[in-house]
Amino acid sequence: MKTLIRFTCMPLGALLILGALLTLFVPEDFDVVPVDIAAIEADASSLPDQVRITGGRLYWPAATESVKEHLRTKETTSNGWFVPLISEALLATFDAAESEGRPAPVELCRVIAQLPPDAFDAFLKGAPPGLGAESESNAQPFELTGTAKPGRALPLHVKRGLEEAGSPLQIDRLVYVEHGSDVAAWQAGLGLALFGALLLGFGHRRLR
C-alpha cells in the first residue's frame, strides 16, 4: 500500500503543484501578439482565442447594459456592459453619421468589448480602465485583453440592445471579448496547487 501511495499520490501532487506554479507565474499573454483594431475590421476571421487588441476606442453612445432582474424582489443587478470597440477611421464614420442626424452604423463594428459593471462609472469620472487616459469624448481609448468569442454567442437581449443604436449587427463577422477573462486561469492554478498540496500531505502522512 505504501508503494502505491509513493508512486501515485505524491508524484501526482508534485506534478499538480508544478503545473499550478506555471499557471500562476508564467505571464498569460506571453504568446499573445497584439492585434490592431484596424486589422480586425479588415478581417476578423483569424483571431486567436486569447487576444490583446490595440488602437481601439470604446464607443459608449452605442453601449448596452446587461441587466439581471431578480424574480422575487424585482430588483435589477448589472451584469456588465457591452460596448463597440472601433478604430479611429470607423469613429470618423460614426461621427459623420451623427453630425448628419443619422444613427451610427454599428453594423460596421467587428469587436464588442464585454466590461464589468463599474466600467461606465469609471468612464464618466474621467478615469477609464485600460489605458488610463482622460476621457475627452464619447469614444474612450482602450486596450482590450481577454478571451474572444464568436458574435453568435452574444446573448439575445444584448444583441437587441446594441442594434437599437443603428442597423442589425453582422453577427458572422463579429467577435466579442470579455475584458480580463484570463483571470480564470489564476483561479484554476490556485485550485491545482491546493489539490496537489493535499495529495502530497496525504501521501507523506500515510508513509510515516
Domain boundaries, the chain: 2-25+187-207, 35-181
Tell me the average pLDDT across 2-26.
51
Burial of 5 (0-12, 13-18, 19+ CB in 10 A): middle
pLDDT of residue 184: 46
* pTM value surpassing 0.75: no
- Nearest Cα neighbor of 53 from 86, 91, 90 is 86
* CB-CB contact of 169 with 163 (8 Å): yes
pLDDT bin (cut points 50, 70, 90) of residue 139 is: confident
CA distance 121 to 131: 16
pLDDT of residue 112: 94
pLDDT tens readout for residues 143-165: 999 988 998 888 888 888 888 86
pLDDT of residue 177: 92
pLDDT bin (cut points 50, 70, 90) of residue 114 is: very high
pLDDT bin (cut points 50, 70, 90) of residue 132 is: very low
Q: Between these two residues, 196 and 95, which has the higher pLDDT value?
A: 95
What percent of the chain clears pLDDT 70, i.e. is strictly above it?
64
pLDDT of residue 120: 81
pLDDT of residue 39: 92
**pLDDT reading at 56 higher than 90:** yes
Question: 116: helix, coil or strand?
Answer: coil
